[in-house]
C-alpha cells in the first residue's frame, strides 16, 4: 500500500516553468464578446473562468443561456493535465414555483465528457455553489495537446407574473468558476 501511495505522489506533479492558458474560442448567449476571462493560478494547479454578463431571466416561461469556451493550456512537454474538481458559483432569485438549473460539462476531443447538473427550487434568493469532483481524473493526451472544451448553461422556468433569474455571478459581480487541475508526467 505504501508503494502505491509513493507511486501516486511520483506521478502527480506540476510541470516546471510557467503554464499559460489560451482562449481558442468563446461562443454563446451567456458570454457575449468581451464578457469572459480566463486566468491561470500562480501555482499552476487551477484556472478560473470569469463571466461578467451570464444572466438568464424568465417570467411565466422558460429561458436559457449557454456558453462554450475552448481552451489550450501551454505547458512544458512531457506532462498532461486533467480536471480534478470544479467549483461553480452564482446567484438565484426564484419566485414561488420557479426552478433554476445550472448544467456544466467539459471534455478533450475524443475523450469522455464529464457532466454536472444542479437544480434549485423557488422560492429562493441566495448565492449558490456547486463543487463537482469526478470519480477519477481523465487526463488529456500526452503527445498531442488537444484543447479543452467547457460548456455551461443556465435555465430558469418561471411561474406567475414575477420575474425569476439566475446568474453565474457572485456578490462582487463576477463569477469564479474554478477548474482544479491534476497533472501527470507522461511516460
For the chain, the 3-state helix, strand and coil shares in percent, each to the nearest 5, are: 5, 55, 40
User: Quick check: is 6 in a domain?
Assistant: no
In whole angstroms, what is the distance from residue 38 CA to residue 50 CA?
6
Measured over the CA atoms of residue 59, residue 33, residue 67 and residue 120, the dihedral's sign is: negative
80 in a structural domain: yes
Q: Is residue 187 part of a domain?
A: no
pLDDT at 125: 96
Structure confidence by residue, pLDDT tens digits, 130-181: 888 888 887 888 877 889 999 999 999 988 788 999 998 533 334 457 888 8
What's the pLDDT band for 5 if we cut at 50, 70, 90?
very low
The 10s digit of each residue's pLDDT in 84-99 is 888 889 999 999 999 9
**What is the model's pTM?**
0.84
**Domain membership flag for residue 34:** yes
Say if 73 falls within a structural domain.
yes
pLDDT digits (tens, 9 = 90+) for 7-43: 333 345 778 888 899 999 999 999 999 988 888 888 8
With CA atoms as reference, report the closest residue to 102 among 91, 89, 117.
Answer: 117
What CATH number is associated with residue 37?
2.60.120
Judge whether 8 lies within some domain: no
* Spatial distance between the Cα atoms of 183 and 83, rounded to a whole number of angstroms: 9
Q: What's residue 139's pLDDT?
A: 81
Mean pLDDT of 55-60: 92
Say if residues 64 and 155 touch (Cβ distance below 8 Å).
yes
pLDDT digits (tens, 9 = 90+) for 132-146: 888 888 788 887 788
Q: Is 122 exposed, middle or buried (0-12, 13-18, 19+ CB in 10 A)?
A: buried
d(CA 75, CA 21): 9
Q: Is residue 12 part of a domain?
A: no
Examine residue 134 and state whether it is found in any structural domain, yes or no: yes
How many independent structural domains does the chain possess?
1
- Quote the pLDDT of residue 10: 37
Q: Which domain holds residue 51?
A: 18-182
Q: What is the CA radius of gyration of the chain?
A: 18
Amino acid at each position: 500500500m505504501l508503494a502505491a501511495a509513493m507511486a501516486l505522489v511520483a506521478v502527480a506533479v506540476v510541470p516546471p516553468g510557467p503554464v499559460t492558458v489560451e482562449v481558442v474560442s468563446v461562443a454563446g448567449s451567456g458570454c457575449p464578446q468581451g464578457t469572459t476571462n480566463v486566468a491561470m493560478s500562480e501555482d499552476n494547479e487551477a484556472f478560473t473562468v470569469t463571466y461578467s454578463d451570464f444572466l438568464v431571466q424568465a417570467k411565466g416561461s422558460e429561458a436559457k443561456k449557454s456558453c462554450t469556451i475552448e481552451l489550450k493550456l501551454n505547458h512544458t512537454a512531457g506532462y498532461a493535465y486533467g480536471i480534478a474538481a470544479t467549483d461553480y458559483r452564482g446567484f438565484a432569485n426564484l419566485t414561488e414555483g420557479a426552478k433554476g438549473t445550472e448544467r456544466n460539462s467539459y471534455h478533450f476531443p475524443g475523450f469522455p465528457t464529464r457532466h454536472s447538473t444542479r437544480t434549485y427550487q423557488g422560492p429562493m434568493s441566495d448565492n449558490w455553489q456547486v463543487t463537482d469532483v469526478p470519480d477519477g481524473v481523465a487526463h488529456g493526451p500526452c503527445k498531442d495537446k488537444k484543447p479543452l472544451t467547457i460548456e455551461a448553461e443556465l435555465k430558469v422556468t418561471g411561474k406567475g407574473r414575477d420575474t425569476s433569474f439566475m446568474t453565474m455571478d457572485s456578490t462582487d459581480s463576477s463569477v469564479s468558476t474554478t477548474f482544479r487541475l491534476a497533472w501527470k508526467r507522461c511516460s
